[in-house]
Amino acid sequence: MNDRIRTDIAHNARVWNYWLGGKDNYPVDRAVGDQVTGFYPSIGEVARADRAFLGRAVTFLAADAGMRQFLDIGTGLPTADNTHEVAQRAAPDARIVYVDNDPIVLTHARALLTSAPEGVTEYVDADAHDPEKILAAAGATLDLSRPVAVMMLGILNFVLDTGEARTIVRALMDAVPSGSHLVLTHPTLEPELGGEGNKAAMAFWNENATPPITARSRAEIASFFDGLDLLEPGILSCSRWRATDEEAPVVAQFGAVGRKP
Ligand SMILES: C[S@@+](CC[C@H](N)C(=O)[O-])C[C@H]1O[C@@H](n2cnc3c(N)ncnc32)[C@H](O)[C@@H]1O
């Protein structure tokens, strides 16, 4: 086993995999996952809504917005409909770079590297706190002088300092040209999304699992889109972003897409 993999403490990528019904997790992940569900019963729905948002956003970007390059930071363990599968269904020549810092995601990365022959997928083992390293590595596969969809789904919540999170987003979006997009999901405590339940769940998480997490307000999430044009319908429950099912339950996870003018 990779000696960076710890089985004595729950890891986010593995617990997320558990909530999504995957098998790439350990007893400690399942125990913590179940305890978090006890505090916040709809957490599994959040994970599924987040993945469904990924599907709709990437399909829109590849099929309608002409995006051919995707930088997916905080990829997670391979699951159904990974970014390259969704993007290449619409655009087989799409190029995807995945980035995560969890050692178990690295060991499963092969499953992410199954590109359509016309396109390419690459995996980078790097930390979101180091956008320069990410850009340098991504530049080997992506042409950063052409538009890139920068995807940060459920990842900025692991950058605890909001100022630093903004700096990271800025560094990434400054490095890509007009026509690039920022795709974001992020948990919140906002009551309008039923986020109060996240509070005890996150407190429990931060005492028992890794890495530590934070929630953000609508205003804080809006600040990540400063200088970008927010696409309709703006910042809302990710389950409702361009949802085909208008009855989809609201979840305490914002989703939004912005375009660099
Ligand atoms: C909640 S999962 C989201 C996975 C996927 N983006 C999705 O939306 O389904 C967050 C992922 O971010 C990764 N992650 C957490 N902190 C990170 C960091 N500092 N740098 C890179 N990846 C990180 C975790 O390992 C995990 O795979």
Is residue 154 within 8 A of residue 188, CB to CB? The reply is: no
User: What's the pLDDT score for residue 5?
Assistant: 85
Separation CA 12–CA 24 (nearest Å): 12
User: What's the pLDDT score for residue 144?
Assistant: 98
Rounded alpha-carbon distances, angstroms, from residue 92 to 54, 58, 139: 17, 13, 20
User: What's the pLDDT score for residue 1?
Assistant: 55
Is residue 42 within 8 A of residue 104, CB to CB? The reply is: no
CA atoms within 13 A on the CB side of 171: 15
User: What's the pLDDT score for residue 63?
Assistant: 98
Contact 75 CB / ligand 1 (< 6 Å): yes
**pTM for the whole structure:** 0.98
Mutate to test the pocket of ligand 1, among 4, 16, 130, 241 (most ligand atoms within 8 A of CB): 16
End-to-end Cα separation, the chain, in angstroms: 46
Contact 218 CB / ligand 1 (< 6 Å): no
Buried-state track 14-51, b at ≥16 Cβ within 10 A, e below 16: bbbbbbbebebbbebbeebbeebeebbebbbbbbbbbb
User: What's the pLDDT score for residue 2?
Assistant: 67
Contact 155 CB / ligand 1 (< 6 Å): yes
Positions in the chain short of pLDDT 50: none
User: What's the pLDDT score for residue 71?
Assistant: 98
